[in-house]
Structure 1
Amino acid sequence: MKRVISIILVLPFFLTKANPQNIVVEGIIKISESKEILPFANVHLQDGYLGTTSNEKGAFKIIIPSAI
């Protein structure tokens, strides 16, 4: 039986300007039911072509260039 884990992005989740050309999205991924950190999870923008993987502490950072 396949179990689906739903996750939520928990603070800190920020949209900040790294410089005038880029937007930075960063946060920590946790399992919604247990609030456990979810390491090495894939994170991507909705269109799917820009993403990253969270580290062993569940933290991730995506830099979005203004050219998108």
Structure 2
Amino acid sequence: MIENFTENYGWIEIAFFYSIALGFAAQQIWKMDREIKKDKAKAAAKKAEEEAAKASGNPTPDEPKES
């Protein structure tokens, strides 16, 4: 029985290390997805702020004031 088990050490090692690699890749994809969502939310908030400033006639910090 032990002889049969030791023949599978290679497969056990492959499965163990590939599961670690796939877990790390999944974590990185999840992390990047959250970062992209945060960036999109910041961009949307900035755009809404700029549109509100234009509608009220106040220039945004990026736009020069007209003299």
Give the TM-score normalised by structure 2: 0.22
Q: Which structure carries more relative contact order (alpha carbon 8 Å, separation 6+)?
A: 1
Higher strand share: 1
Which of the two has higher C-alpha Rg? 2
Give the TM-score normalised by structure 1: 0.22
Higher helix share: 2
